[in-house]
Structure 1
Amino acid sequence: MSARVLHTSDWHLGRQIGRHRRDREFDAVLGEIVSVAQDFAPDLIVHSGDLFDSPRPSLDDMRRAAQTLRELGDIAPVVVVAGNHDTRHVLAFLDYMLSDLGARTGDRARVRFATDARPGGLLLAEYPAETGELTVRVGALPYLHPNRFAYEFDDPASATASYAERMREVQAEVYRRLAASRGPRDLLVYAAHLFVEGATPSYSERTISVSSAYAVEAVALPEVDYGALGHIHKPQLVPRAGYPAHYAGSPLQMDFGETRDAKSIALVEITPGRPPRVELAPLDSGRPLRRLTGTLDQIAQRAAGVGDAWVKAVVDSESPMALLGERLEELLPQATIVDVEERCPGAVTAVLDRVAVDTDLPDVHDMLHDYLSKHGTHGIALDQAMSTFAGMRAEPDPADTTPCCEEELLDAAIAGKGFDGIDRTGLLTDGTVTGTEARR
């Protein structure tokens, strides 16, 4: 007799690598999550925050989220917790879309969103397990920025308290409401988006949000049967001995702080009176992120194992190398090179002095061409960039007061002189009045 919970988190839909979108990767990994959910047949699906990467997601990302959540909602009820990248207005609109434009609300909605941390706005819900013998009770806490305590909570005593102290009170309120009138066959699930002290970040999270000032005490977490946590992108157990909580992590490697992280979702089986059994289902749809460091020859030796990956290369060289980006693309034909850094002892930045050098300083056109080439811009794109730059340089400088040829011609016309410089203000050189003056 047990209940099943599928726990996923931190999708960050819309996240890019440099200037590259990752739509195909997101579509593939979301399809993988839906497939795992169909096989696992959970009683409840929890998304513990950061559905989107931006507070203003694109329409494509809104559609992608709505479609996936609807598919998951057809499998089991879904609870989505607002993360620090999410906004209430966006999630409210998504809620409206998924509730058939408001036709299904409250307990009738298959997908519900937790966006309010105040006692009267907390999302508390009950879902019967498939066997009908157990009930999963979930309490959901959205991400709480320290500033939100000032205008969302009316307790003056919290004004001088630390973030950890205020969060301890908020979590205690969630547990109090969740455990009220708890029966012997009720299983308690706590879903939250927060940073628990001692957790290991991937450092692709916002740095300030995983600092000690934003940390929640592990001992302050409510005593539940399972804690579904989000915010940290590296899958891991909560660093508190015996506590049944887990970070599901992000489904893709979000940036180069996560190159060593294996991605997964948590499949949780909860039995009354026992620790939950957590199995990590691997997610393999995303392209790996690789850092390549060394000389060009050393990188060439490892090139065969890179494959279809996002690559950040740091190349050691004795002297500056021409067309370095193109040479790396030849070595790594399946990869997308996001960034190239050349570490060259002779390339130390120095102040250039015209008096101290015998040759002319490099032209800005050549410097830009070399820079773009080394950073992955080639072919038609490079030609277009250089053409645009040349056009910009050809435009008159507003700060330059030197008149151009067109201005000189216009000034001459206004002064009554023709293009040949002859004065045509009304008299010819022999004193004869012109036709125009005669008519006056």
Structure 2
Amino acid sequence: MKILHTSDWHIGRTFHAHSTLAHFERVAEAMADIVREQRVDVVVVAGDVFDSAVPSAESYEVLTRALRGLRATGAKVVVTSGNHDSATRLGFQSEWAAVAGVHVITRHQALHEPVTLGDVFGPVHFYGIPYLEPSLIRHHYPDHLLRTHEQALGFAMGRIRADQEARGGRSVVLAHCFAVGVQASTVERDITSGGLDLVPLGVFDGPDYVALGHIHSRSTLSERVRYSGAPLHYSFSEGSSVRGGWLVELDAAGLTDTTWVDFPVPRAARELTGTLDDLLGDASLAPYEGHWIKAVLTDEVRPLDGMRRLQQRFVHCVALEHRPAVTHDAGAETYAERVTQKSDQQIVSGFVEFVRNGSGPSDFERQLVSETLVALDT
């Protein structure tokens, strides 16, 4: 059996207020081409199908087209919910979706009830663990201590292992969590109220393969436990990360091979650093003119109208930061100490030097200040 492991589609997410729906559709089409070319049997999505618990109508339409494209290849689809999803909304009418070959697992009460699909070697049981927030599920299981994600996932895996032992055959688990040994980017939403709640790798002992979601970059925790990452770049901190999924192969004995397959990047994200004039005039930056751009300007003085001028060359420049190459140490003096026994001209010059990180007023500005002060005295 061939399985394509994906996660964190985040349909409906914006990139600095710009829609990414069209970009996701391009990736979804490429995903279907890969599934067809590689003769994939099952596509799994390990949580965060949507970016919001209340997706827009257009987001639902995009998901429908993506699933239709995957099913047109003949592959089945197994989906579970993440912390961004509303389990209720995502799982609505999942019974009828399963008839069409799209299996949506969102109910914690049924996490030990697998979707069983077969190949020439027999059954493969797909267990989906929807995102389990301990504070929201612990009252359903009063006999179990469920205060952390480790405890919640340990409880879920215990039920899955017991069911798997009774059924026999091979198994794949989908889960959405922070697992030990991975590093988050700037966009994964914290899944606890007081900091990261990590799940040890040993919690996932047992299945032939564990398809994890929540981290937006690919990561291999062991040969059989992996993150696929998100299909798009959702922040500049992710700009250097490849995008794609894991092609997982099972034979009669279980996991036999995992291969990375790349997805296209409709618009790459890149951070450019330099003075405004450098960024506007450097011919070597031409390949990035169609990228999402974050500009870090190193000019001593923040340029006026910098974003508009940058967008004349980099149409998709969406973020600007002023980070002067030279910074001024103002010392520990208070404002009162800095202005004591100083003339008005010196006070104004000192203020300009302070706000410009050490660069004082020009001769023209000094003359203008002098004339203004004289006019105020008359």
For the superposition of Structure 1 and Structure 2, which TM-score range results when normalised by the shorter chain? Answer: 0.7 to 0.9
Measured after TM superposition, the shift of residue 271 of structure 1 is: 2.0
> After the TM superposition, which residues 170-319 of structure 1 pair with which residues of structure 2 at under 5 Å, given as runs?
170-182=156-168, 186-208=169-191, 213-238=196-221, 240=222, 243-273=223-253, 275-299=255-279, 300-301=281-282, 302-319=284-301
Q: Alignment partner for residue 149 of structure 1, among 137, 155, 167?
A: 137
Name the aligned partner's letter for residue 288 of structure 1.
A
Contact residue 276 and residue 306 of structure 2 kept, 8 A: no
Matched residue, 2:311: 329
Measured after TM superposition, the shift of residue 31 of structure 1 is: 0.8
Measured after TM superposition, the shift of residue 117 of structure 1 is: 2.0
Structure-2 separation of matches of 1:258 and 1:248 = 14
Contact residue 310 and residue 338 of structure 1 kept, 8 A: yes
Structure-2 separation of matches of 1:236 and 1:121 = 24
Contact residue 70 and residue 111 of structure 1 kept, 8 A: no
Contact residue 55 and residue 86 of structure 1 kept, 8 A: yes
Contact residue 114 and residue 122 of structure 1 kept, 8 A: no
TM-score by length of 2: 0.80
Q: Secondary structure at the match of 1:327?
A: helix
Structure-1 separation of matches of 2:287 and 2:79 = 38
- Taking a change above 3 Å as real, the CA distance of residues 309 and 60 of structure 1, as seen in their structure-2 partners, is same
Name the aligned partner's letter for residue 71 of structure 1.
G
Determine which structure has more spread, i.e. the larger CA radius of gyration.
1
Q: Secondary structure at the match of 2:167?
A: coil
Matched residue, 1:34: 32
Name the aligned partner's letter for residue 222 of structure 1.
D
Measured after TM superposition, the shift of residue 304 of structure 1 is: 1.6
Structure-1 separation of matches of 2:181 and 2:261 = 24
Measured after TM superposition, the shift of residue 12 of structure 1 is: 0.2
Name the aligned partner's letter for residue 45 of structure 2.
H
- Taking a change above 3 Å as real, the CA distance of residues 324 and 26 of structure 1, as seen in their structure-2 partners, is same
Matched residue, 1:125: 115
What is the CA deviation profile of residues 14-49 of structure 1, one whole-angstrom value per residue up to 9, with x for unaligned ones? Answer: 111122112221111111111111112222221111
Name the aligned partner's letter for residue 21 of structure 1.
S
What is the CA deviation profile of residues 64-106 of structure 1, one whole-angstrom value per residue up to 9, with x for unaligned ones? Answer: 102211332342221101111111222133637xx3xxxx65x
Contact residue 179 and residue 188 of structure 1 kept, 8 A: no
Structure-2 separation of matches of 1:248 and 1:115 = 20
Measured after TM superposition, the shift of residue 287 of structure 1 is: 0.7
Aligned pair count reads 333
Measured after TM superposition, the shift of residue 347 of structure 1 is: 10
Contact residue 249 and residue 255 of structure 2 kept, 8 A: no
State yes or no: 1:87 paired with 2:86. yes
Measured after TM superposition, the shift of residue 212 of structure 1 is: 6.4
Structure-2 separation of matches of 1:337 and 1:210 = 33
Q: Secondary structure at the match of 1:257?
A: helix
- Taking a change above 3 Å as real, the CA distance of residues 313 and 176 of structure 1, as seen in their structure-2 partners, is same
State yes or no: 1:71 paired with 2:45. no
TM-score by length of 1: 0.69
- Taking a change above 3 Å as real, the CA distance of residues 318 and 94 of structure 1, as seen in their structure-2 partners, is farther
Name the aligned partner's letter for residue 128 of structure 2.
A
Long gaps (5+) in structure 1? 359-440
Structure-2 separation of matches of 1:348 and 1:254 = 36
What is the CA deviation profile of residues 379-437 of structure 1, one whole-angstrom value per residue up to 9, with x for unaligned ones? Answer: xxxxxxxxxxxxxxxxxxxxxxxxxxxxxxxxxxxxxxxxxxxxxxxxxxxxxxxxxxx
Q: Alignment partner for residue 342 of structure 1, among 304, 322, 326?
A: 322
Measured after TM superposition, the shift of residue 134 of structure 1 is: 2.7
Q: CA RMSD of the aligned region, Å?
A: 2.8
Identity of aligned residues (%): 27
Measured after TM superposition, the shift of residue 167 of structure 1 is: 2.4
> After the TM superposition, which residues 38-117 of structure 1 pair with which residues of structure 2 at under 5 Å, given as runs?
38-74=36-72, 75-93=74-92, 95=94, 99=96, 108-117=99-108
Contact residue 2 and residue 250 of structure 2 kept, 8 A: yes
What is the CA deviation profile of residues 114-173 of structure 1, one whole-angstrom value per residue up to 9, with x for unaligned ones? Answer: 11223x4544121111xx333211111011112123333232x415x5432342122121
Q: Alignment partner for residue 17 of structure 2, among 16, 19, 24?
A: 19
Contact residue 141 and residue 174 of structure 1 kept, 8 A: no
Structure-2 separation of matches of 1:331 and 1:151 = 57
Name the aligned partner's letter for residue 105 of structure 2.
A
Q: Secondary structure at the match of 1:148?
A: helix
Structure-1 separation of matches of 2:87 and 2:64 = 15
What is the CA deviation profile of residues 234-269 of structure 1, one whole-angstrom value per residue up to 9, with x for unaligned ones? Answer: 01212x4xx412211100011122011000011111
Q: Secondary structure at the match of 1:113?
A: strand
Long gaps (5+) in structure 2? 346-378
Structure-1 separation of matches of 2:199 and 2:185 = 17
State yes or no: 1:158 paired with 2:156. no
Measured after TM superposition, the shift of residue 273 of structure 1 is: 3.2
Matched residue, 1:395: none
State yes or no: 1:135 paired with 2:123. yes
Structure-2 separation of matches of 1:149 and 1:219 = 22
Contact residue 148 and residue 197 of structure 2 kept, 8 A: no
